[in-house]
Amino acid sequence: MLGFNRFVYTFLTTILTLGFSKIMDAQVAVGTSNHMMLTKKYTNKDFYQDGVFNKLRAKEAIREMIIGFGNSYTDQMDELIWVSDFGLGDYEHVGLASIIWFNNTKGYHFFAMTMYLLPGQMIPEHIHRPIRSSPSLPPKYESWEVIKGWIYNFSEVGNATPNPPKIPDSFGKVISQNYNIMNIGEIQSLKQLETWHFMMAGPNGAIVDEYGVYHDRRGWFSSNDKAYPTN
């Protein structure tokens, strides 16, 4: 009984000190940090109108996911974010939203980007080739850190991993048969220069930071001849 009275006293004292609204704010913050996931299941019906990719609807879905993960979505992010279905017409399954924070072309040649993948969404399988034409560039080397959610990280390097997730027909052929799961805070790098690779988000989507050397689209090639990074 004494313990219960002490609890009541502490609770009432806290309300009087902080105010009830601040306690409710704290509860909301806790709920947000525990992954308030997407409330809507987006499909291609949301992303296409008369066969045309609706980038605003795609950004809306990404914004909801980012906020659901407890992150902020700022005006600067809204201006910088890039969304693409890579010309495949299947953004629900194959596509990407990203923000390039740095792509330094002078002196240091460093690159930093955040990628946003909706639930079950994947990036087309691709490879980074050296660029021979001027300005010439070496093949891109990159590393990834999972910030929210989790991903399948696929590579052509290594033996085929059993029981891969279902890959949609729009993705095309799959060269990268080796994969592992990356969770929050885990970091991995491209296993070998000029090798095929891609990633796929888990069922709640994912936010992934990428760090690498400066590169541009001239060196980006997909194993799916129909895929290209649209503007």
Tokens representing 14 are: 């806290």
Amino acid 16: pLDDT: 38
- For residue 166, the one-letter residue type is K
Task: Give per-residue pLDDT as tens, 67-104.
Answer: 999 999 999 999 999 999 999 999 999 999 999 999 88
Give how far the C-alpha of residue 136 lies from the chain's centroid of Cα atoms, to the nearest Å. Answer: 29
Burial, 4: exposed, middle or buried (Cβ in 10 Å; 0-12, 13-18, 19+)?
exposed
Q: Helices marked H in the chain — which ranges?
A: 2-18, 20-33, 44-47, 55-68, 75-80
Q: How confident is the model at residue 39 (pLDDT cuts 50, 70, 90)?
A: low
Tokens representing 167 are: 């890959």
Residue written as tokens 């996911």? 65
- Pair 222, 124: CB distance under 8 Å: yes
Task: Give per-residue pLDDT as tens, 53-66.
Answer: 999 999 999 999 99
Q: Which helix (H) or strand (E) covers residue 151, if one does?
A: strand 142-155
The conformation of residue 44, written as its DSSP 8-state character, comes to H
Q: Rounded mean pLDDT of 24-44?
A: 54
Residue closest to 134 by CA, chosen among 50, 52, 16, 216: 216
Task: Give per-residue pLDDT as tens, 165-201.
Answer: 999 999 999 999 999 999 999 999 999 999 999 999 9
Point out the least confidently predicted range of 24-33, 118-127, 159-168: 24-33
Helix (H, G, I), strand (E, B) or coil at 97: strand
The conformation of residue 137, written as its DSSP 8-state character, comes to B
Residue closest to 144 by CA, chosen among 158, 162, 123: 123
pLDDT higher at 120 or 24: 120
Greatest extent of the chain over all pairs of C-alpha atoms, in Å: 80
For helices 2-18 and 20-33, the axis angle rounded to 10 degrees is 100
Instruction: Name every residue whose Cβ is closer than 8 Å to that of residue 81 and which is 6 or more positions away in sequence.
Output: 59, 62, 97, 98, 99, 116
Instruction: Name every residue whose Cβ is closer than 8 Å to that of residue 134 and which is 6 or more positions away in sequence.
Output: none
Point out the least confidently predicted range of 12-21, 73-82, 181-190, 206-215: 12-21
Residue closest to 153 by CA, chosen among 231, 214, 206: 206
Amino acid 38: pLDDT: 64
